[in-house]
Amino acid sequence: MKLSKDQELYRQLTEQFAEELYNLAEKDINKILLLQKNDRDILLVELSKIMMHYNTTDNVLNLSSTEKVKISNKLNKVINEAMKEEIKSETDKITEILKKSGLDKYYTNSYILSLGLIFTIKKVDDKVLNRIIKKTIKGKNYSDRIWDNKNKVAKLLRNEVKKFVNGETNLNKIEKLIKNIFNANAYNTKRLAQTEIARVMEGLNDAWQWENDIKWVLYSATLDMKTCNDCGQYDGLVFDIDKKPVELPKHPMCRCTYIALPHKGYRPKTRRDNENKHSVNWTTYGKWKEENNI
Ligand SMILES: [Zn+2]
């Protein structure tokens, strides 16, 4: 199916706004990662303090059994508290990001459609939003997964601390291992957040399409960071709204999406060409939101 000029514009704008949404979310994710770095540094400082205050042989701790118990307890407390705090703050912040990205996905769709069509803008039902955000996959939702991930990190850290206290490893080695564990911690958070953002955005996208009587959708793999064959095979194909071939996201960090194809009455006043490509952007969307009390 060949897209008309107006449908092609609609596709481009949808991708442009989705990209903006991913960029905004990425900034928020990076803020979460700063807290993790701080936790890592606190633990590393504790370890070097211990090296300075206690007896060492060849850069390895040489502790009495009482000292071992005391230091283990202290370090495990630092680890457990850090992870407890990360669970709480990451769950809160990711929930916030999911709400924001989901709502903006829904309303950017409305905005783009409003450029070329007069229609009644429907508000997102809170129940629908929450149902999409809290949806479980294989029995778990994102907050369960954050909890699982952090417990795994805590276990790995406690294990390294145990070896350190028992004199089985030196400061250099444990520092390196702890940095690796925290790098994996950051990667997991990023992957989880990005995958969930894509899932929630697509959930709201789907809800929006049904709300607005969309009949046809175009599969777009344009924003997918690494288009695999699985995703690439559908790119550019048009499907009946109730015959979407796969549920998205298809893989972690997948950014594929089904773009609504507006019907023939869609006629934007301004086509996005070289002269006016700045007339349709995030700021105009912001103004539109204000005007419509969104
Ligand atoms: Zn994909």
Lowest mean pLDDT among 136-145, 223-232, 233-242, 248-257: 223-232
The pLDDT of residue 272 is above 70: no
Q: What separation in Å is there between the alpha carbon of 18 and the centre of ligand 1? A: 14
Q: What separation in Å is there between the alpha carbon of 7 and the centre of ligand 1? A: 22
pTM for this predicted structure: 0.93
pLDDT at 67: 97
For the chain, the maximum distance between any two Cα atoms, rounded to a whole number of angstroms, is 81
How would residue 265 be classed by pLDDT, with cut points 50, 70 and 90? confident
User: How do residues 187-209 score in pLDDT, each as one tens digit?
Assistant: 999 999 999 999 999 999 999 99
Q: What separation in Å is there between the alpha carbon of 231 and the centre of ligand 1? A: 5
The pLDDT of residue 264 is above 80: no
CA distance 51 to 53: 6
Before 245, cis peptide (omega within 30)? no
The pLDDT of residue 41 is above 90: yes
pLDDT at 117: 87
Q: Which residues, chain by chain, have CB under 5 Å from ion ligand 1?
A: 224, 231, 250, 254, 256
pLDDT at 276: 54
Name residue, tokens 């699985």: 230
Quick one: which H or E segment has residue 216? Answer: strand 216-220
Q: Which amino acid is at 31?
A: K
Over residues 103-115, the mean pLDDT reads: 96
How many C-beta atoms surround the C-beta of residue 49 within 10 A? 10
Cα-Cα-Cα-Cα dihedral of 273, 279, 285, 291, to 10°? -130
Q: What separation in Å is there between the alpha carbon of 191 and the centre of ligand 1? A: 14
CA distance 44 to 78: 11
Over residues 216-238, the mean pLDDT reads: 88
How many C-beta atoms surround the C-beta of residue 172 within 10 A? 9
Q: What separation in Å is there between the alpha carbon of 235 and the centre of ligand 1? A: 9
Name residue, tokens 């307890």: 73
User: If DSSP states are collapsed to H, E and C, what string results for 82-137?
Assistant: HHHHHHHHHHHHHHHHHHHHHHHHHHHHHHHHHCCCCCCCCCCCHHHHHHHHHCCE
The pLDDT of residue 79 is above 80: yes
Q: What separation in Å is there between the alpha carbon of 174 and the centre of ligand 1? A: 38
- Phi, psi angles (nearest 5°) of residue 220: -120, 125
Q: What separation in Å is there between the alpha carbon of 269 and the centre of ligand 1? A: 32
Residue 17: exposed, middle, or buried by beta-carbon count in 10 A (0-12, 13-18, 19+)? buried
Q: Please, which residues bridge with residue 137 across strands?
A: 140
How would residue 229 be classed by pLDDT, with cut points 50, 70 and 90? confident
Q: What separation in Å is there between the alpha carbon of 203 and the centre of ligand 1? A: 15
Q: Please, which residues bridge with residue 218 across strands?
A: 238, 259
Q: What separation in Å is there between the alpha carbon of 19 and the centre of ligand 1? A: 14
